[in-house]
Structure 1
Amino acid sequence: MNPTHCQALPPVSYIERSEYMTFDVTPQLPSNDITVAELFAGGGLMAVGLRAAGYNLVWANDFDKNAVKAYRHNLGDHIVHGDITAIDPADIPDTDVIAGGPPCQDYSVAGTGAGENGERGKLVWAYLRIIEAKRPKAFIFENVKGLITKKHRPTFDALLAKFEEIGYRVSWRLINAWDYGVAQKRERVFIVGIRADLGFAFEFPEPRPEDYRTQVLRDVIGDLPEPSDTCGKNVKKVERVADMNEPGPTVTTQFRCQTVEITNHTGGVPAKEYPGHTASALDEPAKAIVAGVHGVPGGANCFYPPNHVQTRATTVKPRQRLSNQRGYVADMDGPGRTVNTCRLDHAEIHPQAPRRFTVRECLRIQSVPDWYVLPDDLSLSAQYRIVGNGVASRVAYLLGIALAEQLRSSVIGERLRTEVSA
């Protein structure tokens, strides 16, 4: 398919068009009868992976009303909007597993650095409080790599010790999503705790040979048509250009963008006008553009996936750039860096057109299946934030499969031991 033109399809309804949305690296498995509650659920990207792995999603919570709306739109009404610190554990149903990752900004290298003293950093202890009160068979905890850096390692070690103290055997690993079949270099810390009375510690699954650093951008977004155009103007300036030969850069949550106006480029764009290192820092965010299909070339005969709409950012005053802020050209056929959402010092653009990744492309780079759709009435910045805050769905899927197998083996083993002793 020519990437500079839309994909011509027969005139069909929106629902019928869904048959063309086939990306799914988390194929649905049969139910494993394991129930899960999720804290800090966000838009449900981790839940997508766990549900596909066979888990029964019973309850979820998040403080962000937009994330809750996205979760409810895709996964059901069992999510509760509210502050987890104000929720009585008695109001949370008993489940086999509790999953989730507290907000990471205070531990992120690119964040505040406040650690556990930050308002968000303190939420790791709220997570622990719920685990101690509910005592599930297992829990899955996710956070940024910064949690194990020298600055925050005391907090991390104290957290592990507390989990052990309340009766859990914990295992942890720094996981790069690219190692597990995700087209993105995204490193995150995962802690899996198993209640001590179950008699085993979780063993992380090793990357499969067919998954290990094999997925690149071309594999996950190469089939998408150029997005519909909502502004009809050419790009003037751009941030980093992604490379379709590489995994995507880690999806993050910022929406502060460089001066850019975007077109669908159906007539082609001279490459010399869009060098890869022309990023200019800005001190204002782009205007929020509502996602939707507008100005679609070809009308009803042209298919544009949900959340795959092109927008423009307005011109704003540049601000002083840091020495490490550079434009970046990604490669379609190689590993990409962590996908960013047009953040000032990391924003990237699509390797085949002078524009940033659409929300749909970011979802795919996060290994989220195409059936997941962010509501049109969420602002573009909210959509990017939801995607950037999420756990790569395929990573959650593979961890979920491994955990279910190990829990099942433990239960079977215990049953056999009981029968033998009797």
Structure 2
Amino acid sequence: MDDFTFYEFFAGGGMARVGLGPGWRCSFANDLSPKKAAAYRANWGDDDLHVGDVHDLSAAQTPGRADMAWGSFPCQDLSLAGAGAGLEGARSGAFWGFWRLIEALRAEGRAPRTLVLENVCGALTSRGGRDFASIGAALAGAGYRFGALVIDAALFLPQSRPRLFIVGFREAAAAGFAPQTSGPQAPWHPKALVAAWSGMSDEAKRAWVWLSPRPPRANVARLDDVIEDAPAGVRWRSAAQTEDLLALMAPLHRARVAAAAASGERRIGTVYRRMRRDASGVKVQRAEARFDGIAGCLRTPAGGSSRQTLLVIENGVVRSRLLSAREAARLMGLPDDYVLPANYSDAYKLAGDGVAAPVVRFLAEQVLEPALGRPAPARIAG
């Protein structure tokens, strides 16, 4: 069978392209950021890459008719940590630039046969669910049947990273379709997704399908497997700096560190600094640790508190350092030969702002390819 073709919008460093794999051929890629575009070129060349605002693209720039268009549009205005502007915001509103292009392609008879929209789970609740309903109305109005799933990268990688994936199907793509049920099914359809579905228009609900792919086999690497003993680009903190970090912990988290140190085993955990309210209601900075073999979700805002810290405990000694750029890339499922930016902040942001590659492969094998005519494998390797 010939390769499937795809467009990759908001492409970043091409992580969706990594996940789709060699059976898919990119015919057009777009991103606004010159730094991310440089990473894309370093790994894929620039034959298919257009750097610029999605609002300025025209249908004439996209060749042929793609089997799939991928759009990991900006999340800042949809995130629970954002200002709540939703799809009316300057950043997440880039969705409408993407959608204007899809509509232009539809007018020419070239609408992609399938679509994938990826974003944070806050897209389900932003502006009281109106943003999710707007996306559903747009898909249904353009002749797409569609469904949505919440997939946590922790099913495939040692990183907790739940994300929303909205998948649309047109024409013949819907014939073979994908695994589906008559109603919501765990783990793909949490309560927030069901609530968002209930708020959609009747037209959108008629176009809806409950996508229910086969869960992957549990065979996930642990955090220890991706951590380097001598990482490039980061330094170990001094004992005093590590103690300052521990001092930010509430008793529960300090006890976790003490228990790990008392075990006599080598233990690796992660720490995020967050703002919490104390007993009097005053906001204070807290350090929160976990030792379950899974990293917290990689984040991209500027500032040290957004960067994940590692705790490595051996022989009762606690050491700390930042997660390295290569370790962050591994937590996104990128191979070690993937070329990262030389600057640490640029590389970390590239990883934290992307889509986990194994999740993309899972969607391709279990949902997209069956809908496009390639049977799904009997079982997914974890």
What amino acid is aligned across from residue 344 of structure 2 in structure 1? Answer: L
Q: Residues 321-340 of structure 1 correspond to what in structure 2 (within 5 A)?
A: 323=283, 325-331=285-291, 333-340=292-299
Give the C-alpha shift of residue 328 in structure 1: 2.1
Give the C-alpha shift of residue 90 in structure 1: 1.5
**In the alignment, is the contact (CA less than 8 A) between 1:340 and 1:346 conserved in 2?**
yes
Distance in 2 (CA, whole Å) between partners of 1:101 and 1:322 is 36
**In the alignment, is the contact (CA less than 8 A) between 2:151 and 2:165 conserved in 1?**
yes
What amino acid is aligned across from residue 148 of structure 1 in structure 2? Answer: L
Secondary structure, in 3 states, of the residue corresponding to 1:57?
strand
Give the C-alpha shift of residue 80 in structure 1: 1.0
**What TM-score do you get using the length of structure 2 for normalisation?**
0.70
Deviation larger for 84-93 or 31-40: 31-40
Question: Out of 324, 332, 341, which is 1:375 matched to?
Answer: 341
Q: Deviations over 1:311-355 (max 9, x none)?
A: xxxxxxxxxx97374212232x53332134685555431131410
Deviation larger for 366-375 or 196-205: 196-205
Question: Out of 333, 342, 350, which is 2:310 matched to?
Answer: 350
Distance in 1 (CA, whole Å) between partners of 2:245 and 2:299 is 10
Distance in 1 (CA, whole Å) between partners of 2:372 and 2:289 is 44
- Structure 2 regions of 5+ residues with no counterpart? 106-110, 180-210, 247-268, 276-280, 313-318, 376-382
Distance in 2 (CA, whole Å) between partners of 1:130 and 1:80 is 14
Distance in 2 (CA, whole Å) between partners of 1:338 and 1:32 is 36
Indicate yes or no: 2:157 matched with 1:182. yes
Distance in 1 (CA, whole Å) between partners of 2:282 and 2:145 is 43
Give the C-alpha shift of residue 217 in structure 1: 0.7
Q: Residues 221-300 of structure 1 correspond to what in structure 2 (within 5 A)?
A: 221-222=226-227, 224-228=228-232, 234=238, 236-237=240-241
What residue number does 1:88 align with? 58
Distance in 1 (CA, whole Å) between partners of 2:273 and 2:152 is 27
Distance in 1 (CA, whole Å) between partners of 2:330 and 2:87 is 32
What residue number does 2:202 align with? none
**In the alignment, is the contact (CA less than 8 A) between 2:271 and 2:309 conserved in 1?**
no
Give the C-alpha shift of residue 84 in structure 1: 1.1
Distance in 1 (CA, whole Å) between partners of 2:4 and 2:282 is 48
What residue number does 1:55 align with? 24
Per chain length, whose mean CA-contact separation is higher, i.e. which structure has more relative contact order (CA < 8 Å, sep 6+)? Answer: 1
Give the C-alpha shift of residue 229 in structure 1: 6.4
Q: Residues 129-278 of structure 1 correspond to what in structure 2 (within 5 A)?
A: 129-134=100-105, 135-149=111-125, 151-179=127-155, 181-200=156-175, 201-203=177-179, 204=211, 205-211=213-219, 214-219=220-225, 221-222=226-227, 224-228=228-232, 234=238, 236-237=240-241
Q: Structure 1 158/91 Cα, relative in aligned 2: closer, same or farther at 3 Å?
A: same
Indicate yes or no: 2:14 matched with 1:44. yes
Q: Structure 1 226/115 Cα, relative in aligned 2: closer, same or farther at 3 Å?
A: same
Q: Structure 1 380/371 Cα, relative in aligned 2: closer, same or farther at 3 Å?
A: same
Secondary structure, in 3 states, of the residue corresponding to 1:171?
strand
**In the alignment, is the contact (CA less than 8 A) between 2:233 and 2:324 conserved in 1?**
no
**In the alignment, is the contact (CA less than 8 A) between 1:146 and 1:152 conserved in 2?**
no
**In the alignment, is the contact (CA less than 8 A) between 1:145 and 1:187 conserved in 2?**
yes
Question: Out of 60, 76, 84, which is 1:105 matched to?
Answer: 76
What amino acid is aligned across from residue 59 of structure 2 in structure 1? Answer: P
**In the alignment, is the contact (CA less than 8 A) between 1:128 and 1:163 conserved in 2?**
no
CA RMSD of aligned residues (A): 3.0
What amino acid is aligned across from residue 79 of structure 2 in structure 1? Answer: S
What residue number does 1:70 align with? 39
Distance in 1 (CA, whole Å) between partners of 2:241 and 2:141 is 54
**In the alignment, is the contact (CA less than 8 A) between 2:85 and 2:127 conserved in 1?**
no
Deviation larger for 82-91 or 144-153: 144-153
Q: Percent identity?
A: 32
Deviation larger for 195-204 or 120-129: 195-204
Secondary structure, in 3 states, of the residue corresponding to 1:396?
helix
Choose between structure 1 and 2: higher helix proportion: 2
What amino acid is aligned across from residue 186 of structure 1 in structure 2? Answer: R
Distance in 2 (CA, whole Å) between partners of 1:98 and 1:90 is 15
**In the alignment, is the contact (CA less than 8 A) between 1:240 and 1:347 conserved in 2?**
no
Choose between structure 1 and 2: higher strand proportion: 2
**What TM-score do you get using the length of structure 1 for normalisation?**
0.64
Q: Deviations over 1:251-310 (max 9, x none)?
A: xxxxxxxxxxxxxxxxxxxxxxxx9989698xxxxxxxxxxxxxxxxxxxxxxxxxxxxx
Q: Structure 1 276/63 Cα, relative in aligned 2: closer, same or farther at 3 Å?
A: closer
**In the alignment, is the contact (CA less than 8 A) between 1:45 and 1:390 conserved in 2?**
yes
Q: Deviations over 1:170-202 (max 9, x none)?
A: 1111111112x1211101110111103544454
**In the alignment, is the contact (CA less than 8 A) between 2:86 and 2:126 conserved in 1?**
no
Q: Structure 1 102/228 Cα, relative in aligned 2: closer, same or farther at 3 Å?
A: closer
Give the C-alpha shift of residue 156 in structure 1: 0.8
